[in-house]
């Protein structure tokens, strides 16, 4: 009989605010169950971030995911962060190495891996809509894969800032009318199309036929209006759920040091999202 949790159960979790909607517990706990690892993953709704990070050390929590709004602010409370987290300017994963808190970022890897399942990225011309935190993580990952990047954002000054960082070009959203035909891949990193505004779309749908691949990082709903319209026009589509899954898989493998049960984690995720 399974006697977990018990006095030797390892604790993992997510810190964010709010976190009640997080799908991370479902994914990580399903992996622990399948691999018979004596560990549990919990959600911590945190407003006092410094106290929560001290609590990780004090309680011996083994690993933590970090989500909105703490991904940038958490950096100052960690002992060490890696080069990728420095470049992205955000940490979404903390590893507790015998009391030393090490921060890294797996969001970029989630986005890149979801794309690479479908298309080789080197020299591909990619439009990224949005210039926020997730756009920054994805852009840096794509730059390292040798992609050619254009940032289109509602606030053009932010598009410019990100384009400078990843050696790409930039524009507002309206300019997409003229330039879309030059690109292979479109990625939406804005919340446009997310419940309850699931009838909204960030780009004129007729432009979608210019792209081979369209990815939306919004995952609620899974099949956004953008992806429906792209599929109608013959594009390959990638859901935000894939990015969510692959960033979690990278976290799990960093914490547990063994391969994650991808299929089971995906099944748990799909079941939870209905």
Ligand X SMILES: NC(=O)c1ccc[n+]([C@@H]2O[C@H](COP(=O)([O-])OP(=O)(O)OC[C@H]3O[C@@H](n4cnc5c(N)ncnc54)[C@H](OP(=O)(O)O)[C@@H]3O)[C@@H](O)[C@H]2O)c1
Binding positions for ligand X, rule: CB under 6 A: 107, 110, 130-135, 153-155, 158, 189-192, 194, 202, 217-219, 240, 243-244, 247
Q: How far is the CB of 82 from ligand X (least distance, A)?
A: 19
Q: Which residue is nearest to ligand X (CB)?
A: 132
Q: How far is the CB of 177 from ligand X (least distance, A)?
A: 15
Shorter beta-carbon distance to ligand X: residue 147 or 192: 192
Question: Could you give the residue numbers annotated as active site?
Answer: 71
| φ, ψ for residue 170, nearest 5 deg | -150, 160
| Long-range Cβ contact pairs of 179-184 (< 8 A, separation 24 or more) | 179/127, 179/150, 180/127, 180/207, 180/210, 180/211, 181/210, 182/125, 183/125, 183/126, 183/127, 183/150, 183/210, 183/211, 184/119, 184/124, 184/125, 184/126, 184/211, 184/212, 184/213
DSSP character for 196? T
Q: How far is the CB of 80 from ligand X (least distance, A)?
A: 23
C-alpha–C-alpha distance, residues 156 and 168, integer Å:
14
Q: How far is the CB of 149 from ligand X (least distance, A)?
A: 14
């Amino acid at each position: 009989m399974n006697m977990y949790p018990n006095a030797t159960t390892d604790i993992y979790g997510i810190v964010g605010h709010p976190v009640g909607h997080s799908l991370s517990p479902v994914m990580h706990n399903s992996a622990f169950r399948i691999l018979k690892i004596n560990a549990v993953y919990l959600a911590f709704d945190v407003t006092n971030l410094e106290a929560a990070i001290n609590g990780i050390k004090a309680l011996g929590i083994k690993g933590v995911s970090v989500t909105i709004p703490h991904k940038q602010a958490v950096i100052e409370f960690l002992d060490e962060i890696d080069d990728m987290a420095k470049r992205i300017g955000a940490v979404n994963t903390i590893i507790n190495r015998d009391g030393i808190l090490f921060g890294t970022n797996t969001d970029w890897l989630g986005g890149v891996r979801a794309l690479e399942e479908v298309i080789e990225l080197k020299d591909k011309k990619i439009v990224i809509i949005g210039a926020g935190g997730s756009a920054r993580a994805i852009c840096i990952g794509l730059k390292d894969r040798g992609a050619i990047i254009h940032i289109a954002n509602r606030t053009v000054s932010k598009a410019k800032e990100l384009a400078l960082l990843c050696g790409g070009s930039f524009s507002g959203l309206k300019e997409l009318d003229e330039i879309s035909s030059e690109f292979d891949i479109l990625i939406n990193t804005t919340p446009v199309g997310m419940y309850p505004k699931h009838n909204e779309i960030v780009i004129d749908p007729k432009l979608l036929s210019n792209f081979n691949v369209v990815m939306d990082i919004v995952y609620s709903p899974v099949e956004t209006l953008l992806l429906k319209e792209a599929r109608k026009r013959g594009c390959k589509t990638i859901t935000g759920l894939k990015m969510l899954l692959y960033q979690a898989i990278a976290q799990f493998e960093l914490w547990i040091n063994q391969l994650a049960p991808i299929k089971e984690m995906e099944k748990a995720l799909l079941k939870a999202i209905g």
